[in-house]
Amino acid sequence: MATLANCIVMMDEGIDRVGELVPQMPAAEARMCRLMLMLGATIDRELEAKLKPNKLNHSEFLTLMILYSRPDGSSTPGELCEFTTQGATNMTRIANALVKRALITRGSSKDDRRRVLIRITPAGRRFVQKVLPPMFPQVGAMFTGFSAGDMRQFDRLLRKLAGNLDQLGEQRLP
């Protein structure tokens, strides 16, 4: 099996070596960047594995969770696209899949009949309440050994990084 630790060792050596060949490279930043990519992908795989027994994939899960988290349990395809960073094409497919399983309903909005109103059903709520708790242990285990201070720091640093990424994105689409 390819342990994350192995990959990291190898990545560290790789960056050192590339840093010798291309000295202008911001090595420390590149390292962080790769770490974020590796960990993000790993967590993604972990989550996907947890969801598979329930015949859900990541974007379907996310969509369902957003609806579940809304006080009125409803949203629109456009809004869901925005927050799940999915294309409209895919959101239609996701909605189709969730409607077929009766976890959500699709209806047209009263005041703007172009809009489609997507709403989580009682069965959808029950489904979330069944699916969610079994993933708590893993989520907790990811942060064993993190002190309260560690969590605060981590949160701060991730949000700071998010801010930088936003700026970086803006200047690419001017």
Report the C-alpha gap between 129 and 124 in whole angstroms. 9
The partner in contact with residue 123, picked from DNA, a copy of itself, none with C-beta cut-offs of 5 to 8 angstroms by kind, is: none
Give 27 or 105: the residue with its C-beta nearer to DNA: 105
Q: Please, which residue, 84 or 128, has the CB nearer to DNA?
A: 84
Q: How far is the CB of 62 from DNA (least distance, A)?
A: 9
The minimum distance between CB 57 and DNA, in angstroms, equals: 3
Closer residue to DNA, CB minimum distance, 41 or 142: 41
Positions that interact with DNA (CB under 7 A) = 57-59, 76-79, 81, 86-96, 106, 111-116
Among DNA, a copy of itself, none, residue 134 binds (CB under 5-8 Å by kind): none
Residue 138 belongs to what H/E stretch?
helix 136-141
Q: Which does 72 bind (CB under 5 to 8 A by kind): DNA, a copy of itself, none?
A: none
Beta carbon of residue 95, minimum distance to a copy of itself (angstroms, whole number): 18
In angstroms, the CA 104 to CA 125 distance is 9
Q: Are 90 and 60 in contact (CB under 8 A)?
A: no
Q: How many residues does the chain have?
A: 174
Q: How far apart are CA 56 and CA 104, in angstroms?
A: 14
Q: Which of 106, 105, 124 is nearest to 115 (CA)?
A: 106
CB of 56 to DNA, least distance (A): 8
> Nearer Cβ to a copy of itself, position 11 or 117?
11
For residue 25, the SS3 value is coil
Q: Are 81 and 91 in contact (CB under 8 A)?
A: yes
The tokens describing 138, both together, are: 């893993």
Closer CB to DNA, 27 or 46, in the complex: 46
